[in-house]
Amino acid sequence: MPPGPLPARAPSPRGQTSPGDRIQQLLDDFGPRLQAGEALRKVRKQQAGPARQASGIAAIDELLEGGFSRGELSEITGPASSGRTSLLLSLLATTTTTTTTGGRPSAGGGAELAALVDTPDAFDPPSARAAGVDLRRILWARVSPWSEAMRCTERLLETEGLPLVVLDLAQSRGPSPGARSETRIPRSAWIRLARRAAASRTALVVLGEECRAGEQARVALELQPARARFTGFPPLLEEIETRALLVRAPGAGRHRSVSVRLGPASPGAKSFG
C-alpha cells in the first residue's frame, strides 16, 4: 500500500473512547506507513554501503568513495617506489590515532587496532612513527613463507574487533629464482580470506606488485610511479609523485585515476587531533 498523508480525524474527548478503540484509531492512522516500512527502508539504505576505513590521503579517499571498505578485500599494487608503503602507513595512521570532532572522539573513528602480516619483513617502525602511526596499536607479525602468512591473516580475521588487517606480499629484495611460483597463491585461499573479512567486518588490504586475489578483491588500486622530487642544495628527497589507478571497483568507478604527491607539501591530508 503506498504511503499517503495522514488522514485528518475529528478529535475525540478523552474518556469517551475505550483504550481498545484508541489503539485501533492509531493503527488506522499509522498502519499504512508502518506496513510500507518507510523508516526501516531509510535505515537499511543508510546501512547498505559498507563502512569505510579512510586512508588519510584525500585524493585516494575520494577515488575510493571514502576509503577501503570494511568487510571486503582490497588490493594495492605497484612496483617499487610507487608509494604503496606510504599509502599503507597513512592508512595505519588514520586507523590507530584518535579522530576528534569538537574536542570529543568522533563515533567510529580511530584509536583502533590494526594488524600487519609482513611477509617480506619490510615494515620500518621509524618511518611509521614519522607518518603518525600509533605503534602501540599495531600488531606486527613477521612471517614467511606466504602459506604461513595466509594462515596468520586468516587467524587475525577470525578475531572480531580488528578493523584493519594488512597482508604485505610485496617483494623487497627483488626478484629471486622461483619467486613467481612461490607467490602463486591458490584461488581457494583468497576466497577463504574474503569470506572471513566479510564475516568479521574487517578491511583486508593486500599489498603486492601485481593483482593476486583476482575477483575476490572488490577494489584494486594500482600505483604507478611518476617521479621523485629532490629539492635544495645539497639535494634532499622531498616527495614521490605517483598515479593511482582504480583497476577494479564495484559500479562505475573503474579506470578512474588521480595523481598523488607523497611529501610534506602534499595537499589534502586530513586533520586529526
Partner 1 sequence: MPPRIACLLVPNLPLHAEIRAHPDLATGPLAVASGPESRAEIIAASPAARSAGVQSTHSVAQARAACPELRVRVASPALERAAREALLDVALSLSPRAEIAPRTPGLFFSEGKVFLDASGIQGLFHSEQGFASALLARSEAQGLPGLVAVASSRSVSLLAARHRMSGGPPLHCLPREAEASFLAPLALDLFDPDDRLAQALTRLGIHTVRDLLRLPRRGLAQRLGPGVLALLARARGEDADSALPEPTSTRVEEAIDLENPVDHLEPLGFILRGLISRLCERLALRGLACGALDLRMRLEGGAQDARRIGLAAPSLDLRVLLRLTTLALAERAPHAPIEQIALGSEGIPSRTDQLDLFLPRGPDPAALGRTLTELESICGEGRVGMPQVLDHHDPLGFALGPFTPPGRESPSPAPGPLPAPLPALRAIRPPLPAEVRVHGGKPAFVRSAVAQGDVVVAAGPWRTTGYWWSEEERFALDHFDLQVSDGSVIRLGFDWIKRSWQIDGIYD
Q: Return the residue of 34, 36, 113, 191 that touches partner 1, per CB under 8 A.
A: 113
Which span (2-10, 15-23, 81-89, 190-198) binds partner 1, by CB under 8 A? 81-89
Report yes or no: 201 and 74 within 8 Å, Cβ to Cβ: no
Find the binding residues for partner 1 in span 234-273 (CB under 8 A): 234-237, 239-240, 262-266, 269-273
Set of cell numbers at residue 108: 567510529
Residue 177 CB, shortest distance to partner 1, in Å, is 11
Binding status of residue 98 toward partner 1 by CB under 8 A: yes
User: What does the alpha-carbon distance between residue 123 and residue 139 come to, in Å, rounded to a whole number?
Assistant: 12
115: which strand partners?
A: 139, 165
Closer residue to partner 1 (CB): 19 or 177: 177
Cβ-count burial 168-198 (b if 16+ within 10 Å, e if not): bbbbeeeeeeeeeeebebeeebbebbbebbb
Residue 167 CB, shortest distance to partner 1, in Å, is 13
Which span (9-17, 27-35, 130-138, 180-188) binds partner 1, by CB under 8 A? 130-138
Closer residue to partner 1 (CB): 222 or 239: 239
Q: Return the residue of 73, 162, 220, 246 that touches partner 1, per CB under 8 A.
A: 162
User: What does the alpha-carbon distance between residue 200 and residue 163 come to, in Å, rounded to a whole number?
Assistant: 8
> How many Cβ atoms sit within 10 Å of the Cβ of residue 150?
21
Kindly give the residue spans of alpha helices, DSSP state H, lying in 64-109: 84-96
Backbone angles phi, psi at 30, to 5 degrees: -100, -15
Residue 44 CB, shortest distance to partner 1, in Å, is 21
Closer residue to partner 1 (CB): 112 or 222: 112
Residue 11 CB, shortest distance to partner 1, in Å, is 42
- Contacts with partner 1 by CB under 8 A: the residue count is 84
Backbone angles phi, psi at 99, to 5 degrees: -85, 140
Residue 169 CB, shortest distance to partner 1, in Å, is 13
Q: Return the residue of 97, 166, 198, 205 that touches partner 1, per CB under 8 A.
A: 97
Closer residue to partner 1 (CB): 128 or 204: 128
Site string for partner 1, 23-62 (x = CB under 8 A): ---------------------------------xx-----
Alpha-carbon separation of residue 139 from 149, 156, 180, 199 (angstroms): 14, 10, 28, 20
Residue 121 CB, shortest distance to partner 1, in Å, is 5
Per the listing, cell 500500500 goes with: 1
User: What does the alpha-carbon distance between residue 244 and residue 88 come to, in Å, rounded to a whole number?
Assistant: 13
Closer residue to partner 1 (CB): 21 or 158: 158
HSE-up of 177 (CA within 13 Å, CB side)? 0
> How many Cβ atoms sit within 10 Å of the Cβ of residue 214?
13
